Structure 1
């Protein structure tokens, strides 16, 4: 029964990461805690393995499909590693009830954000002539030094926040990375999801390396099964993104995230009172 649950949960995580460029990682910790009997500390470490491996495989598939801008994703990911290291160190000293309660609040925020993005938008608004283009550099050193400092600050703040969440709670942060890549780096929509997988891979690796040897290790057998199922589904998800309207996938996943968020909050928040 535990094996079947791990396979089903891993498939859901991988499908979201592959098709939507994020979101699936938010399920890994609740799955490990409530379905697979891991402690919160074990779950947040195991989640980094699941999410990091799945994102790496999904990024390779997306790169083959031509939807990854590797240099920009790697740059954003490297900036985020500082936050990932700090978050991982803070997590080692956090009470487990606090970890789960923080995760419940994060899930509710992510679910609400995903639902908000599904609302219809007025596409006839004013054009933004000053919007940066893909070829606009943030920093240039030749022939003279120039800095698009507002964009550089957006990248620094968003990347650090993504890293902190990854390190502290074991999530990939794709729900933040995709809009950050759209706004701060001016990536076209079709590249944002694939490029975000590069970022998630780097931040997850940095956080996992920081956590190595700290605290109790997760059940690696369970984590391995969850990771394999998730990785296989991520490849299918990346291919699916080109064939179906991802709004339908996003809507279904939003309902799932909100349901899991409500359950996690009901279990975690009373423990703090």
Structure 2
């Protein structure tokens, strides 16, 4: 086994660790890991990421299903639409230049980072059903699936809010059900890519096994590490990684300029969250949301 492969597999354990700790978001690092360290073509890296995301989601789904946190009918309907979009996205991605795919992926990273830093409002109780029409749910699943298939990210930060707002699921059920949706559309997107991309299956198996092993460790650490601080810190890191990918793919001088701007913004966010948390609007919004949940 080459040194590069060993490094990639070792770092995949850390990706899985973040997946176990955060319940999502860590998969966004698989593509840059395989592209910039593993030396894979962007299309091959995205296809590999889809397999890793799908497999780890299935493993996590088992635990949520045992707790009764999966709404199978809703997940299958949303996931079916997502599979169509993901397959079409993966089919198109196999013919899109690698640079454009990486730019799209970097934008997805930045959007993910924003969602993680901003936080989300938990709904632990029973959520009121909003009775959105079926076509709206199917359309949303189709669009989210297309994004997943195209850039190889699970898109949990898009799926969970959609399940809460469109399907009226409580947060715990939305998180569990999202794993079913993510697994379905990840494998569908992989199918689209396999029509034009060949994978190094031993590497795929090694990275997947390492990520799953790391996720088990991460799950055990959830009671020790404060989830909110970790999620926001990880969001800043993903933001920096997204800026780095953009700086590598965009022509000079726009790439370095974007990287510099994002570094400044990330540093400001870190200072706000860590040093001035009593006056930081990012921290206060999350605290206010938790207080509203307690009062409710």
Normalized against structure 1, the TM-score is what?
0.81
Equivalent position to 2:153, from 168, 171, 175: 171
Distance 1:240 1:183 in 2: 30
Q: Describe the superposition over 1:159-217 as per-residue Cα deviations: whole angstroms up to 9, x where unpaired.
A: 112110121111111110111112111221222222211111000111112222413x2
Verify the 8 A CA contact 2:47 2:190 in the aligned structure 1.
yes
Between the two structures, name the one with larger relative contact order (CA 8 Å, sep ≥ 6).
1
Normalized against structure 2, the TM-score is what?
0.75
Distance 2:142 2:202 in 1: 32
Question: Offset at 1:39?
Answer: 0.6
Question: Offset at 1:250?
Answer: 1.0
Distance 2:137 2:252 in 1: 36
Cα distance 1:79–1:240, how it changes in 2: closer, same or farther (>3 A)?
A: farther
When the two chains are superposed, the root-mean-square deviation of aligned CA atoms in Å is 2.7
Distance 1:272 1:87 in 2: 30
Unaligned runs of 5+ in 2: 255-296
Task: Tell me if 1:7 matches 2:12.
Answer: no
Unaligned runs of 5+ in 1: 124-130, 139-147
Q: Which has the higher mean CA deviation after the structures are superposed, 8-17 or 35-44?
A: 8-17
Distance 1:159 1:242 in 2: 33
- Residue 260 of structure 2 aligns with which residue? none
Cα distance 1:153–1:28, how it changes in 2: closer, same or farther (>3 A)?
A: same
- Residue 249 of structure 1 aligns with which residue? 230
Aligned with 1:66: secondary structure? coil
Q: Counting helix residues as a fraction of each chain, which structure ranks higher?
A: 2
Equivalent position to 1:232, from 213, 225, 230: 213
Distance 1:91 1:104 in 2: 15
Q: Describe the superposition over 1:44-90 as per-residue Cα deviations: whole angstroms up to 9, x where unpaired.
A: 11111111111111111222243322332222111211111211111
Aligned with 2:251: secondary structure? helix
- Residue 264 of structure 1 aligns with which residue? 245
